[in-house]
Amino acid sequence: MLEDMIEFRGKEPGPTSVILGGVHGNETCGVEAIRNILPNLAIEKGRVFIGYGNPRAIAANQRFTEANLNRMFKPDDQLSQREKESYEYGRAQFLKTYLNQADALLDIHASRVQHSRRFVICEDNGLPTAKYLPADLVVSGLDAVQPGGTDYYMNSIGKIGVCIECGYLGDPESTDMAVKSIFSFLATRGHVTRETSSREQSRLQVFYMYVTKSSSFSLAKPFEDFETLREGQLIGQDGIEEIHAPRDCVILFSGNRQKAGDEAFLLGTYKTTT
């Protein structure tokens, strides 16, 4: 298992970027895409660091081993002692040494929900990069409601953090999507010469993340990512409490949970402008 970041250096000066796959170990598309392209990759300008986010979780084909790596990038005072003693916390510190050198990050993910759309996650500073990635939807607002990811960290230090969600993690096409995303990102950042075209993207603003209060959260039904909810619609049951949609919105990243304090779903609304 590749533990280190691989550095590619172009002949000409240019920006520095980081590309990560497998920050969640069971989202194999980024890991496979990186494995496929590493042997023949050539960079013309600047520096690119490429590697795996969470090698232990990848080896175990699990989302994480001790703590969600993609929440370990918060300031230390927002992490618990248990989190700070985890393998993932240490891994985050290692990855930060590369993120700190970079101007921009592409982090490759996949959804646990079947039939999930492909989409980009970024804040406004990432939109000029996002519009060249192969997805028709950009989701924003995660930094505020679900802080601690790699992209959150980059944004918090004045850099550009962009995640690509390549569809359902069990869909073999997600690897092709990851490969396309890597080359689009490299071209957009000026590391390679390659024709790219921007696309119209709809935008969704996430406004809420539900965290479970009991050890038994079950959805009223399985929701697809971006399924529309009406105001008041029953989303699920957390212990004895019924959870309803606070307004008309869409749901994503939802699932049944068996632990208090788990992230159970996100809610968002579409923006009218592109």
Query: Between residues 87 and 237, which has the closer beta carbon with respect to Zn ion?
Result: 87
The reply to whether 191 sits near Zn ion by the rule CB under 5 A is no
Alpha carbons within 13 angstroms on the beta-carbon side of residue 249 total: 22
Region binding Zn ion by CB under 5 A among candidate stretches 40-48, 94-102, 105-113, 189-197: 105-113
Nearest to 237 by CA among 223, 249, 220, 222: 220
The reply to whether 257 sits near Zn ion by the rule CB under 5 A is no
The reply to whether 131 sits near Zn ion by the rule CB under 5 A is no
Cα–Cα distance for residue pair 180/108, rounded to 1 Å? 11
Cα–Cα distance for residue pair 64/5, rounded to 1 Å? 19
Region binding Zn ion by CB under 5 A among candidate stretches 26-34, 142-150, 204-212, 228-236: 26-34
145: tokens are: 């409601």
Query: Between residues 71 and 189, which has the closer beta carbon with respect to Zn ion?
Result: 71
Query: Between residues 24 and 257, which has the closer beta carbon with respect to Zn ion?
Result: 24
Residues in the interface with Zn ion (CB under 5 A) total 3
Query: Between residues 108 and 267, which has the closer beta carbon with respect to Zn ion?
Result: 108
The least CB distance from residue 197 to Zn ion, in Å, is: 27
Among 19, 20, 21, 24, binds Zn ion (CB under 5 A): 24
The reply to whether 118 sits near Zn ion by the rule CB under 5 A is no
Region binding Zn ion by CB under 5 A among candidate stretches 101-109, 118-126, 186-194, 217-225: 101-109
Among 109, 118, 159, 203, binds Zn ion (CB under 5 A): 109
Query: Between residues 130 and 245, which has the closer beta carbon with respect to Zn ion?
Result: 130
Cα–Cα distance for residue pair 173/127, rounded to 1 Å? 24
What's the angle, vertex CA 102, arms to CA 39 and CA 98, rounded to 5? 70
Query: Between residues 27 and 88, which has the closer beta carbon with respect to Zn ion?
Result: 27
User: Where do contacts with Zn ion occur on this chain (CB under 5 A)?
Assistant: 24, 27, 109
